[in-house]
């Protein structure tokens, strides 16, 4: 299907299942609030499916950074800055994050809900042989966790030591 045909079909399927209805109060760029009721069944389905594929193909750090950048990207577009250099800069970062995002997603649409029932990609980072508490053929050594936990908690132990030397936590003024 072409992108237009795909969106048309997803709008039909999603609309028939009550997917993609939203009622929001927006903070407009000019300072007023406005209320809008929107129906975006196809867009809602595409977003849910895309996020499902990202969940298995994006590295944790890349996924978190993309999630931090998207509100700024959306704000720029909403406020009419499509041709701004900052939007183009963000676009480059987003495009880079998407180079391995591909695959297939199975969805169930029912009473306004979109449920992911499966996802797969040739470029997945998920490896069932590693993501297990059983035999992982040496991919993960449980003994490594002890050092990681101790190092990760260093800041908390340092704060606790300071607090105990000063007679407990001090109230802020």
Domain span including residue 54: 1-58+104-119
> What is the pLDDT, as a whole number, of residue 129?
78
Tell me: do 109 and 34 sit in the same domain: yes
Closest C-alpha among 74, 125, 69 to residue 96:
69
pTM for the model stands at 0.80
Domains identified in the chain, total number: 3
Helix (H) or strand (E) holding 72: helix 60-78
> What is the pLDDT, as a whole number, of residue 4?
97
Tell me: do 16 and 46 sit in the same domain: yes
Whether 173 is covered by a domain: the verdict is no
Reply yes or no on whether the pLDDT at 39 is more than 90.
yes
Tell me: do 114 and 39 sit in the same domain: yes
Tell me: do 54 and 89 sit in the same domain: no
95: confidence class by pLDDT, cuts 50, 70, 90 = very high
Reply yes or no on whether the pLDDT at 172 is more than 60.
no
């Amino acid at each position: 299907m072409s992108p237009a045909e795909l969106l048309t079909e997803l709008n039909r399927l999603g609309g028939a299942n009550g997917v993609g209805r939203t009622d929001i109060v927006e903070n407009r760029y000019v300072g007023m609030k406005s209320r809008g009721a929107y129906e975006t069944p196809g867009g809602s389905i595409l977003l849910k499916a895309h996020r499902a594929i990202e969940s298995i193909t994006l590295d944790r750090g890349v996924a978190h950074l993309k999630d931090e950048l998207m509100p700024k990207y959306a704000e720029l577009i909403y406020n009419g800055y499509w041709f701004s250099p900052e939007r183009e800069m963000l676009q480059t970062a987003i495009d880079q994050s998407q180079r391995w995002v591909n695959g297939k997603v199975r969805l169930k649409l029912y009473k306004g809900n979109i449920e992911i029932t499966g996802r797969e990609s040739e470029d997945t980072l998920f490896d069932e042989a590693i993501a297990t508490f059983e035999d992982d053929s040496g991919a993960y050594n449980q003994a490594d966790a002890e050092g990681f936990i101790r190092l990760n908690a260093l800041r908390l132990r340092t704060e606790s030591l300071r607090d105990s030397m000063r007679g407990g936590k001090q109230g802020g003024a």
